[in-house]
Copies of this chain bind each other. A is one copy, B any other.
Amino acid sequence: MRILILGGDGYLGWPTAMNLTANGHEVAVVDNYLRRQLCREENVEALFDVPNLHKRAELWEAVSGYKIPVFIGDLNQWDFVEEVFKKFVPEGIVHYAEQPSAPYSMLDRRAAMLTVQNNLSVTANLIFAVRQFCRNAQIVKIGTMGEYGTPNIDIEEGWIDIEHKGKKHKFLYPRQAGSLYHTTKVMDTDLLWFYVRMWGIRVTDLMQGPVYGLITDENKENEQLFPFFNYDELFGTVLNRFVVQAVAGYPLTVYGKGGQTRGYLNIKDTLNCVRLSLEKPAKPGELRIFNQFVETFSVNELAERVQRAGKQFGLSVEIKPIENPRKEAEEHYYNPVHTGLLELGLKPHYLTDDVLAKMLEIVIRHKERINKDAIFRGVKWD
């Protein structure tokens, strides 16, 4: 299948590109290096130097023989979108091309506006490009479990049947997100759902939980092919960050009571979920929604696991609850369904002590590169 990856430079974008080529697909990547730019501006660069996309594509071709064309440009600009879709008419599009950080979206007004405008405009341009250049192509969109928030009822997989005053209707599951970034993902879903109904486009919207890890079947610990590995509060997901904090001797910063529970998954599972969604696509006029995670943990549980894993390496890891800079429920009901991707064929990887040990081992090799000042920013939600 001819697959275009929007946001191909990101934490998930580049590993997805390699994975799809290794599984027989023809892949091109698009990026404008927005995330690199923001990390530089905020002085929170990744743990490893990451070669640019052209260089990574060369490295991957040298290792695997697979060629990945690279398009560098801004998908907010229609002339660029047009050029890409005319040159590489895709059968599937993976849409990662968004400002991906919740704390960044809460930093200040300019960061908020960038998040709203970038995320919505790229999604809208994608929809118009599909209509104009590849009407039957399928869109695989990365949403987030954060769209649902933490309601007091079970979270279904995207949809809910409501019985009310003796009548019934099936609705999109009501969404109530915990950051502006997550709210833009709710808006993306609003927008995609509208055009699915109007134009019969094909969309799989993946409500993904926080991802961890950096080793995939393709990079095989070749560090030149590693994804971005951010360990800061802005762009680092919580488990990756805790692993680095453990190595740096920086107490694990648990926000408030630490009962915040989310669904997590290994980066390997992300790649498989995206590939399965492409290979077993949504039908025309279908908005198919999967809850994309493998197991749930509270922040306290994650901290304790990292602490325990650290002991194997002689690390004495401290856990330090701090005042919560966010506005969120610190203890709550959380019972989200996640059977759709398993039914599609996902074979989950779980968060074992071995997985954590491997992550710690790699980070320890790069201990001297950790910038402790980057870890905590205390971006406040109110």
Contacts and interface: CB of A to CB of B under 8 A. Distances in A.
Nearest to A174: B171
Interface in A33-63: none
A58 B171 CA distance: 50
Nearest to A152: B169
Interface residues of A, number: 47
Given A128-B112, A198-B381, A160 B153 contact: no
A362 interface: no
With most chain B CB atoms within 10 A of its CB, the pick from A151, A193, A198 is: A198
B167 A194 contact: no
A127 to B, nearest CB: 9
Given A187-B187, A194-B183, A128 B109 contact: yes
Given A168-B153, A382-B199, A183 B190 contact: yes
With most chain B CB atoms within 10 A of its CB, the pick from A164, A186, A200, A333 is: A164
Identical copies in the complex: 2
A121 B113 contact: yes
A197 interface: yes
A134 interface: no
Given A177-B194, A183-B191, 20 more contacts: A78-B109, A113-B121, A116-B121, A117-B121, A120-B187, A152-B167, A152-B168, A153-B162, A153-B163, A153-B169, A154-B165, A154-B167, A172-B176, A173-B174, A174-B174, A176-B193, A177-B190, A187-B187, A187-B190, A200-B382
A112 B123 CA distance: 12
